Structure 1
Amino acid sequence: MRLICCCSVPFLLLLIPGACEGGNILAIPTEGSHWINMEVLLKALHSRGHNITVAHSSKSWFVVNNSSFYSTLTVPVERGVERDFVQELLLQMIKFQRGTLPLTTVLHLVASMFSKMSELHRNIGEFVPALLDDPGLVRKLHDGKFDLVLTDPSWGNGVIVAKYLNLPLVYNVRWLIPEDAQLAIAPSPLSYIPIVQSGFTDKMTFFERVVNMLLYLVGQIQMVLASKLAYQPLCEKYLGPDHDFDQIKIDADIWLMRTDFVFDFPRPTMPNVVYMGGFHCKDPEPLPEHLEEFVQSSGEHGFIIMSHGAFVSKLPDDVADEVAAAFAKLPQKVIWTYKGNRPTTLGNNTLLVDWMPQKDLLAHPKIKLFVAHGGTNGVQEAICHGVPLLGLPLVFDQYDNLLRVRQKRAAKILSLSTVNEDNFLKGLQEVLTEPSYRTNMQRLSRLHKDQPMKPIDTALFWIEFVMRHKGAAHLKAQSYKMPWYIYHSVDVVLFLTGVTLLVVFTLILFIRCFCSAVCRRKIKRE
Structure 2
Amino acid sequence: MRWCLVITPLNLFPIVEELGRRGNQVVVVIPEASLSMGPSEHTTTLTYPVNYTKAELKASIADEFNTILSIDISTDLTKFQAFIISLDVLQMFILRNAEGLLFNKDLMKKLQEYNFDAILTDPFEPVGAIAGEYLSIPAVYMLINHPCGVDTLSSQCPSPFQMGSSYLPGRLYHRLSCIGVICFSLLWFEGHIETCFIKFINHGAVWLLRYEFTFEYPKPQICKFISHPKVKAFITHGGSHGIYEGICNGVPMVMLPLFGDQGDNVQRLVSRGVAESLSIYDLTAEKLLVALGKVINDKSYKEKITELSAIHRDRPIEPLDLAVFWTEFVMRHKGAAHLRPAAHELNWIQYHSLDVIGFLLLILVTVIFVTVKSCMFCFRKCFKKTQKKKKE
1:109 to 81, 96, 100: 81
Cα distance change on mapping 1:463 and 1:419 into 2, 3 Å: same
In the TM superposition, 1:30-49 aligns within 5 A as 35=10, 37-49=11-23
**TM-score for both structures, normalised by structure 2:** 0.78
1:254 to 191, 206, 211: 206
Q: Which structure 2 segments of 5+ residues have no match?
A: none
Q: Look up the SS of the partner of 1:367 in the other structure.
A: coil
The corresponding residue for 2:46 is 73
Q: CA deviation at 1:54?
A: 2.1
Q: Look up the SS of the partner of 2:234 in the other structure.
A: strand
Q: Look up the SS of the partner of 1:262 in the other structure.
A: coil
- Answering whether residue 297 of structure 2 is matched by residue 433 of structure 1, we say yes
Q: Look up the SS of the partner of 2:233 in the other structure.
A: strand
Q: Which shifted more, 115-124 or 458-467?
A: 115-124
2:217 to 276, 290, 306: 276
2:144 to 149, 174, 181: 174
The corresponding residue for 1:314 is none
Mapped contact 1:369–1:390 kept (Cα < 8 A): yes
Letter in 1 for 2:262: Q
Mapped contact 1:155–1:177 kept (Cα < 8 A): no
- C-alpha distance in 1 between matches for 2:318 and 2:173: 34
Mapped contact 1:23–1:50 kept (Cα < 8 A): yes
Instruction: Kindly provide the CA deviation profile for residues 420-473 of structure 1, in whole angstroms up to 9, marking residues without a partner as x.
Output: 333322111111101111122122222222222211111111111111222222
- C-alpha distance in 2 between matches for 1:474 and 1:405: 38
- Answering whether residue 313 of structure 2 is matched by residue 449 of structure 1, we say yes
Letter in 2 for 1:41: I
Cα distance change on mapping 1:107 and 1:40 into 2, 3 Å: closer
The corresponding residue for 1:141 is 111
Mapped contact 2:154–2:198 kept (Cα < 8 A): no
Q: CA deviation at 1:82?
A: 5.3
Mapped contact 1:253–1:472 kept (Cα < 8 A): yes
- C-alpha distance in 2 between matches for 1:398 and 1:515: 67
Q: Look up the SS of the partner of 1:504 in the other structure.
A: helix
Q: CA deviation at 1:417?
A: 4.2
- Answering whether residue 250 of structure 2 is matched by residue 386 of structure 1, we say yes
- Answering whether residue 122 of structure 2 is matched by residue 152 of structure 1, we say yes
Identity, in percent, stands at 28
In the TM superposition, 1:192-231 aligns within 5 A as 192-193=164-165, 195=167, 208=169, 211=172
Q: Look up the SS of the partner of 1:470 in the other structure.
A: coil
Q: CA deviation at 1:184?
A: 5.7
Mapped contact 1:24–1:148 kept (Cα < 8 A): yes
Cα distance change on mapping 1:392 and 1:74 into 2, 3 Å: same
Letter in 2 for 1:106: T
Cα distance change on mapping 1:117 and 1:366 into 2, 3 Å: closer
- C-alpha distance in 2 between matches for 1:78 and 1:191: 38
Mapped contact 1:153–1:177 kept (Cα < 8 A): no
Letter in 2 for 1:251: H
- C-alpha distance in 1 between matches for 2:371 and 2:7: 62
Mapped contact 1:256–1:276 kept (Cα < 8 A): no
Q: Look up the SS of the partner of 1:53 in the other structure.
A: strand
Q: Which shifted more, 462-471 or 146-155?
A: 462-471
- C-alpha distance in 2 between matches for 1:421 and 1:85: 27
Cα distance change on mapping 1:443 and 1:191 into 2, 3 Å: closer
Q: Look up the SS of the partner of 2:251 in the other structure.
A: coil
- Answering whether residue 21 of structure 2 is matched by residue 51 of structure 1, we say no
- Answering whether residue 241 of structure 2 is matched by residue 377 of structure 1, we say yes
Q: Look up the SS of the partner of 2:45 in the other structure.
A: strand
Instruction: Kindly provide the CA deviation profile for residues 130-153 of structure 1, in whole angstroms up to 9, marking residues without a partner as x.
Output: 545554223211222211001111
- Answering whether residue 2 of structure 2 is matched by residue 26 of structure 1, we say no
Q: CA deviation at 1:377?
A: 0.5
- C-alpha distance in 1 between matches for 2:354 and 2:59: 46
Q: Look up the SS of the partner of 1:175 in the other structure.
A: coil
Cα distance change on mapping 1:470 and 1:108 into 2, 3 Å: closer
Letter in 2 for 1:377: H
Q: CA deviation at 1:92?
A: 4.5
- C-alpha distance in 1 between matches for 2:150 and 2:289: 34
Aligned length: 380
The corresponding residue for 1:328 is none
Q: CA deviation at 1:76?
A: 4.0
Q: Which structure 1 segments of 5+ residues have no match?
A: 1-21, 199-207, 236-243, 264-274, 282-358
